[in-house]
Amino acid sequence: MQSDAYTIEMETSAQVTAALQGPLLCVRVGGRWDMEAPWPPDAQNALRQAADPRVAQLEVTSEALGPWDSSLLVFLVQLLKTAHARKLMVRTELPDGLERLLRLAFAVPAKEGAGKTTQRPGLLAELGGRALGLPPKVRDFLDCVGRANMRAQDMLTAMYECGVLALPIISLTSLLFGLILAFVGAVQLTQFGAQIYVAGLVGIGMLRVMGAIMVGVVMSGRVGAAYAALIGTMQVNEEVDALSALGISPVDFLVLPRVLALTLMIPLLTIYADLMGVLGGFVVGTLMLNLNSMEYANATVQMVPFKHVLIGLVYGTVFGVIVALAGCYQGLRCGRSAQAVGRATTTAVVHAIVGIIVATSIITVICNVLQV
């Protein structure tokens, strides 16, 4: 007889009873809950009654509850979420295992940005939110940089990766940009028979600012993105957490060598890019404009003061800091998914290029004010 009773209980379908007693809503669950079976009709009624403004308290109990799976847990979570959203007083009397699962379900808050929404704030609200969120980001950025120590071997490796390995792409882009500058200048200067001034145009343009900008933009896409992707992937694989657990500062081990290496190498790459750009102008001047090679070289030396070289080095140094910090910062603040790595890489490149443009504007204004 006991076996027959147990079989009957096992076969009883899921049951939900919702009774409203004044401001108290009593919900009882029972029967067998199975993912393959639909919820009982009274389940939706219980959820609707929990949202009733007359309800101030919720009591959830079990009665003749048979085997259950996650379908019962999903129902109870939805019911309690409705109650918590309305700030109802909640009391539960459920089996211990179910109580523990419910506590676990509400113990972990939802991750920010995990839920999608189609409603977007207005332009002023979005600008205001970004402005208010800027100071914490600045403090977080300064804390990320901080004071750090590093190994010399790490810095040498980073210098090789961001310097020597970047020479081919820097050579190509700078040479072509020098060609472009020469062609653009020649369009107007040849009308007045002043082709020789192409040497000064290319020399000043490349040495003063364009060489550094070209190097900065190329290194943003090549090195800044690589830094963000590398450190971001380590963040996803919890390698950064492992370093912290071993007592090794991630800033010391990952950030500082790369920042210093790129800060030192971009000025050197800028000088190399300047030479390649001048070479590009030399090719156009001698082969396309029929200028004498010695004449072009002498014109370049006479028309381009040495101060433009120094100003270009200032640009390059600032760009190196911007590119390295943008890549490393976005990598360290990367999320824990493959999508977050891609987002961090894209953000690092965008921030680096925007930073280069803003820094160029500021330094240019300062140079004009100082008349240098």
Q: Which domain CATH number covers 43?
A: 3.30.750.24
- Show Cβ contacts of residue 70 under 8 Å, excluding neighbours closer than 6 positions: 35
Residues 102 and 217 reside in one and the same domain: no
Structural domain that includes position 340? 148-370
Residues 189 and 84 reside in one and the same domain: no
pLDDT of residue 124: 72
pLDDT of residue 8: 41
**Helices 307-332 and 256-283: angle between axes, nearest 10 degrees:** 140
Residues 50 and 192 reside in one and the same domain: no
Q: Is residue 99 part of a domain?
A: yes
Q: Which two tokens stand for residue 241?
A: 């957490």
Residues 80 and 223 reside in one and the same domain: no
Residue ending a domain, choose from 55, 80, 107:
107
Q: Is residue 261 part of a domain?
A: yes
Q: Is residue 1 part of a domain?
A: no
Residues 79 and 215 reside in one and the same domain: no
Residues 314 and 208: their CA atoms lie apart, in Å, by 9
Q: Which two tokens stand for residue 252?
A: 């010391």
CB count in 10 Å sphere of residue 201: 19
pTM for this predicted structure = 0.61
Residues 72 and 69: their CA atoms lie apart, in Å, by 6
User: Within the chain, which residues score under 50 in pLDDT?
Assistant: 1-10, 113-114
Q: Is residue 135 part of a domain?
A: no
Residues 100 and 181: their CA atoms lie apart, in Å, by 71
Residues 100 and 158 reside in one and the same domain: no
Q: Give the position of tokens 């810095």.
A: 155
Residue ending a domain, choose from 76, 107, 138:
107
Q: Is residue 40 part of a domain?
A: yes
340 CB-contact burial (10 Å; exposed 0-12 / middle 13-18 / buried 19+): middle
pLDDT of residue 52: 85
pLDDT of residue 187: 87
Residue ending a domain, choose from 92, 107, 122:
107
Residues 154 and 261 reside in one and the same domain: yes
Residues 260 and 335 reside in one and the same domain: yes
Q: Is residue 38 part of a domain?
A: yes
pLDDT of residue 4: 43
Residues 99 and 20 reside in one and the same domain: yes
How many domains is the chain built from? 2
Residues 346 and 340: their CA atoms lie apart, in Å, by 10
Residues 213 and 36: their CA atoms lie apart, in Å, by 63
Residues 313 and 363: their CA atoms lie apart, in Å, by 12
Residues 81 and 173 reside in one and the same domain: no
Strand order, beta sheet including 57-65: 15-21, 24-31, 57-65, 89-93
Q: Is residue 26 part of a domain?
A: yes
Residues 189 and 269 reside in one and the same domain: yes
Q: Is 22 left (phi over 0), alpha (psi -120 to 50) or beta?
A: left
Residues 72 and 187 reside in one and the same domain: no
